[in-house]
Amino acid sequence: MGRDKEISWLYEELPSLVEKGLLTEEAASKLRNHYGEPEKNSSRNLIFIISAILGSILIGLGIILLFAYNWDEYSRLTRTIITFIPLIAAELVFGYAYFRKRTSIGWMEGASGFLFLMVGAAIGLTGQIYNMGGTLSELLLIWILVTLPLLYLANTVLVFSLYMILLSWWSFNSMEFFRWMSTSDDFFTINKIIFLLLALAVVPFLFKNIDKTRFTARGNILGWVFSVPLFLSYFGFLTFTSGLSSLFYYTCLATIVYALGKLFYDNTSSLWQKPMQVAGITTIFLLGICCTFKGYWGDFTHSYWFYYHNSVHHRATHLILYLSGSMFLAASAALTFKRFKKKIAINYFPLVFPIIIGIGVMLAHLSTDFLIITILCNLFILGYGIYYIYNGIKLDRISLVNAGMLFLSILIAVRFISSDAGFLMKGIIFILLGSGFLAVNYFLLRKQKKNG
């Protein structure tokens, strides 16, 4: 698909090359005959790939539903045989695709997706047949672990997407949505670490499949599929799970996601083409806004230091989170230093934020006032907004200016909403903010039209 795009670009250039005398019309015609019609081939391949993916998913789901029909009337042996027949069939189809059709994206996507679903069906049905017990979280975790090798063997987008969907499902099912069912905070901390390890397990896959030198649709899809589950896992920073160590951990996790985005997608311009940067910056901004409130720090502090301070085991799980966050921060610093050595423009704000949170964690030991850290967080959001506005105007990029305006507007809004100012003053402030948005965008649009 990437080759077809490059051929299409070549065809767009041919008329100008002929006009300038760099190529003859005969040579241009020979090039067209040699490369064929990329747009038609690309479209046909895309339709086949999508059909293969949808077909494999529908067939897999259909087989699972057929099992449910009169399932209880079969003997245990019959149910066991029925369970493994689709799995064996899926393995045969995948084997054929792997050894005979490995260069066909459609075949590999469809066969690997079918096998992925049949593995899950076999695990679930085997447990049900032999009354092995267990919870949905345990089933999902086993399914994830068993299919991890398939991800690297098949090397397909569909398996990667299904893997990340299962990981997100397991994360929510085992940690967040059912938090009120257990008083053990250690349980949720351990699951955070498991989630982290399973997410890190796919990073080599990303390195293998994302072309850092140019934009590709495959690489972009992988970036979003990886970033969205991680972003959803940050839900924990709104539940104050595990206290201050968890806050530091989430901050550093967002920073390393942003740093990976700069590594993989730095040569793209559109926000849609920067999935990891969007996920990382969005999380940093949300955390930064939350941390401008004293009550937010108080809730995190209350979660750990007052209730679990005397629990040796709980302190051990916090140590794991602190160490994990510190490793993320060190990796982010290393990637940033690499860019510094190459004299590439650097946005230091994502790297500075975990340091600010780390200072806040240390100050929480000394005082429950939290005035200093909330001031630092307010200054951080303020500085970040100004940075984006300045660079957006300098680079003539409206998206950066709007991001900076959004940062400043939300910061000002939350400060005024939480203040004792009257409705008149708050109304005037919001009108001024809206007018500023419109004025800046109008100015930049006129500037772009003037420049060309």
Give per-residue pLDDT as tens, 211-231.
Answer: 887 788 888 889 999 988 777
Last residue of a domain, one of 340, 369, 398: 369
Residue 49 lies in a domain: no
Q: Find the domain containing 358 and state its range.
A: 198-369
Per-residue pLDDT at 277: 92
pTM of the predicted protein model: 0.74
Residues 365 and 376 in one domain: no
Residue 161 lies in a domain: no
Residues 351 and 401 in one domain: no
Residues 286 and 322 in one domain: yes
Q: Which residue has the higher pLDDT, 161 or 366?
A: 161
Residues 272 and 408 in one domain: no
Distance between the two ends of the chain, CA-based, in angstroms? 32
Helix axis angle, 136-154 to 76-100, nearest 10°: 20
Average pLDDT for the chain = 77
Per-residue pLDDT at 434: 63
Residues 344 and 409 in one domain: no
Per-residue pLDDT at 444: 61
The whole-number average pLDDT for the span 20-25 is 74
Q: Is 142 exposed, middle or buried (0-12, 13-18, 19+ CB in 10 A)?
A: middle
Q: Which residue has the higher pLDDT, 434 or 323?
A: 323
Per-residue pLDDT band at 332 (split at 50, 70, 90): very high
Q: Which residue has the higher pLDDT, 305 or 155?
A: 155
Residues 364 and 434 in one domain: no
Residues 364 and 384 in one domain: no
Residues 336 and 247 in one domain: yes
Residues 357 and 306 in one domain: yes
Residues 388 and 345 in one domain: no
Residue 217 lies in a domain: yes
Per-residue pLDDT at 94: 92
Residue 81 lies in a domain: no
Per-residue pLDDT at 154: 92
Residues 333 and 267 in one domain: yes
Per-residue pLDDT at 357: 93
Per-residue pLDDT at 424: 60
Per-residue pLDDT at 184: 47
Region of poorest pLDDT, from 15-19, 129-133, 268-272, 442-446: 442-446
The yes-or-no verdict on residue 311 having pLDDT over 60 is no
Q: How many domains does the chain have?
A: 3
Per-residue pLDDT band at 333 (split at 50, 70, 90): very high
Per-residue pLDDT at 305: 39
Q: Which residue has the higher pLDDT, 269 or 204?
A: 204
Residue 270 lies in a domain: yes
The yes-or-no verdict on residue 355 having pLDDT over 90 is yes
Last residue of a domain, one of 312, 337, 369: 369
Per-residue pLDDT at 304: 42
The yes-or-no verdict on residue 126 having pLDDT over 80 is yes
Per-residue pLDDT at 177: 43
Q: Which residue has the higher pLDDT, 43 or 289?
A: 289
